[in-house]
Chains A and B, each alone.
Chain A
Amino acid sequence: MNNATFRTEHLSVFYGQYEAVKNISLSFPEKSVTALIGPSGCGKSTFLRSLNRMNDEISQAKIKGRIWIDGVDINDPGTDVIQLRQKIGMVWQKPNPFYKSIYENIAFGPKYHGIKNKAELDEIVETSLRKAALWDEVKDRLKQSALSLSGGQQQRLCIARALSVKPGILLLDEPASALDPVSTAKVEELITDLKKELSIVIVTHNMQQAARISDYTAYFYLGSLMEHDTTEKIFTNPEQQMTQDYISGRFG
């Protein structure tokens, strides 16, 4: 697995003196879902945010080690972070659509990256919304504000927006934890569909969710990677007692 195109190598993340992520080497196989699980504060979200350099925004955050995507060290000074982030979509816990129309939410990214042709943009909007299983619900109201959608619809809109710039990787930070069960089921179904085309990394607190949708699972504890294997192995026969305790709900 060491030659995977998307992987981290001895990655540590510091907030000032505090080491939030400790020396993690992890590979994300293509066209599969990797779930990051672990109790609150274990560093899994910090780890996820470092994968598209979201931690750049936090002035005290420092990175050690490397993150490789398609043979490029993303923290290399020569790496164009704007180009890099186009290859990586991200969706957060709280839906955060732009204060724009539904259409504009999807078309905004592609427009900025140089697509001016109206027909082409229309096409991108439709495809992205279809992939996010939202098209049928919104196709007659594309000009309306995205904020008029329900929470679950907004979250799928955010997924569609992430897909609009055709990324190869999708990072999901607890994408369903603020949604009702019906919307959650839709988002999970969506993730299973999307992995045919993308590598997906998802942070989740929901063990059943990790078991249902992921192919690989990584268990984090206090900033360290405790165990990483296929989801089946982790959930049926983990190497470590601690992992066993966590997934069976005995702590965390």
Chain B
Amino acid sequence: MRAKLTDKIATFFIVVFSLLIVAVLVGLIGFILVRGLSHIDWHFLTSVPQTIREGGGIGPQLFNSLFLLVLTLIITIPLGLGAGIYMAEYAKPGKITGTIRLVVEVLSSFPSIVVGLFGLLLIVNTFGFGFSLFSGALVLTIFNLPLMVRITEQAFRSVPKEQKEAGLALGLSKWKIISSVLFPVALPSIVTGTVLAAGRVFGEAAALLFTAGMSTPRLDFTNWNPLSPTSPINPFRPAETLAVHIWKINSEGLAPDAAQIAAGASAVLVILVLLFNLFARWLGGVLYKAMTASKRMG
């Protein structure tokens, strides 16, 4: 009788807590979307912001956020995969591995404003990359690498060791086993890691204030020369991202419709994260299917 009662109470609380989390999430997304959606139209998404007049848009910021994501992932994914695979398959347990792991963990818990200042001193000033997308991408890599490394390592470790033995017994080289036998099995977790890392790129503001900067030059979307200062795809130009823009207009916006712009930009940001999530899962699913002949990623 007592066991039954305890069980009921425990079940009750677990269900209540889960519902609470769902309610918070739905409430939050609902709030942001309800406040922001009405402000979103094609003009808002494509035009440049206005400083003191009404009717400014978020076009360059939207582009900057996406471009910064691409740049960051280009740096993070190879480094993260490489280090994660090293930790899982090559590193022998010992002092060095332990130290690497500790450094990686510490790195992931650094306050973003501190990493931003570090980026300002080292990447922006000392290395002379200035306020640029590239500086921003490097700083975001500092955040994302630990996550990417840990997730990759765990993904490879959780592949059944029988898979590896089967490869060895067939006379495959270690690299062939890693790239063709283990990687497809580890892929779903790696996709999850990438999605988490991407969320951070979209959402980070503090560290980007000092590295990618708070302004965007007047961009000419017909200029695709990556070295031209007005080209959107020049990685060495300053770039205010959507998250930084929201922070800026909320704290010092002079336009009369600043509150609506912030609300609209927030809604766009949330939708962007959701869309990227779906896109990454779709892409992962296609890759997984191509490599494993399975219908669903799982």
Interface residues of A (CB under 8 A from B): 52, 54, 57, 59, 82-86, 88-90, 92, 94, 96-101, 104, 108-109, 112-113, 143-147, 158, 161-162, 164-165
- Could you tell me if B162 and A145 are in contact, using CB atoms closer than 8 angstroms? no
- Could you tell me if B165 and A100 are in contact, using CB atoms closer than 8 angstroms? no
Tell me the nearest residue of chain B to A86, going by C-beta.
B171
- Could you tell me if B171 and A82 are in contact, using CB atoms closer than 8 angstroms? yes
Q: How many pairs of A and B residues are in contact by the CB < 8 Å rule?
A: 77
- Could you tell me if B168 and A57 are in contact, using CB atoms closer than 8 angstroms? yes
- Could you tell me if A145 and B293 are in contact, using CB atoms closer than 8 angstroms? yes
Complex Cα–Cα for A108 and B170 (A) = 9
- Mask, B84-121, CB within 8 Å of A = 1, is 00000000100000000000000000000000000000
* Given A92-B165, A96-B162, CB of A145 within 8 Å of CB of B294: yes
- Could you tell me if A104 and B293 are in contact, using CB atoms closer than 8 angstroms? yes
Interface residue count on the B side (C-beta < 8 Å): 24
Tell me the nearest residue of chain B to A97, going by C-beta.
B166
**B29 → chain A closest CB, angstroms:** 35
**A40 → chain B closest CB, angstroms:** 19
- Could you tell me if A85 and B184 are in contact, using CB atoms closer than 8 angstroms? no
- Could you tell me if A161 and B92 are in contact, using CB atoms closer than 8 angstroms? no
Can you list 30 pairs linking A and B with CB atoms under 8 Å apart? A54-B165, A82-B172, A85-B169, A85-B170, A89-B169, A92-B162, A96-B160, A96-B162, A96-B163, A96-B165, A98-B167, A98-B181, A99-B181, A99-B294, A100-B184, A100-B291, A100-B292, A108-B170, A108-B180, A109-B170, A109-B171, A112-B170, A113-B171, A145-B292, A145-B294, A145-B295, A146-B293, A162-B170, A165-B170, A165-B171
B45-87: which have CB < 8 Å to A? Answer: none
Tell me the nearest residue of chain B to A81, going by C-beta.
B171
**B191 → chain A closest CB, angstroms:** 15
**B184 → chain A closest CB, angstroms:** 5
B176 at the interface (CB under 8 A from A): yes
- Could you tell me if A90 and B163 are in contact, using CB atoms closer than 8 angstroms? no
Q: Which residues of A contact B168 (CB under 8 A)?
A: 54, 57, 85
Task: Name the residue in B167, B169, B173 with the highest tally of chain A Cβ atoms < 10 Å from its Cβ.
Answer: B169
B185 at the interface (CB under 8 A from A): yes
Tell me the nearest residue of chain A to B173, going by C-beta.
A82
Complex Cα–Cα for A195 and B153 (A) = 42
Q: Which residues of B contact A84 (CB under 8 A)?
A: 171
**B179 → chain A closest CB, angstroms:** 11
Complex Cα–Cα for A108 and B181 (A) = 10
- Could you tell me if A99 and B92 are in contact, using CB atoms closer than 8 angstroms? no
Q: Which residues of A contact B294 (CB under 8 A)?
A: 99, 145, 147
Q: Which residues of B contact A109 (CB under 8 A)?
A: 170-172
Complex Cα–Cα for A99 and B164 (A) = 12
Q: Which residues of A contact B167 (CB under 8 A)?
A: 98
- Could you tell me if A162 and B293 are in contact, using CB atoms closer than 8 angstroms? no
Q: Which residues of A contact B166 (CB under 8 A)?
A: 92, 96-98, 158, 161
* Given A85-B171, A165-B170, CB of A143 within 8 Å of CB of B293: yes
- Could you tell me if B169 and A112 are in contact, using CB atoms closer than 8 angstroms? no
Complex Cα–Cα for A101 and B293 (A) = 5
A-B CB proximity, top 9 nearest: A101-B293, A96-B162, A90-B169, A86-B171, A85-B171, A109-B170, A99-B292, A145-B294, A145-B293
Complex Cα–Cα for A1 and B173 (A) = 34
- Could you tell me if A98 and B169 are in contact, using CB atoms closer than 8 angstroms? no
**B92 → chain A closest CB, angstroms:** 7
Complex Cα–Cα for A91 and B275 (A) = 45
Q: Which residues of B contact A143 (CB under 8 A)?
A: 293
Complex Cα–Cα for A145 and B295 (A) = 8
Cβ 8 A contact of A54, one of B169, B172, B181: B169
**A245 → chain B closest CB, angstroms:** 33
Tell me the nearest residue of chain B to A101, going by C-beta.
B293
Complex Cα–Cα for A161 and B168 (A) = 12
Q: Which residues of A contact B181 (CB under 8 A)?
A: 98-99
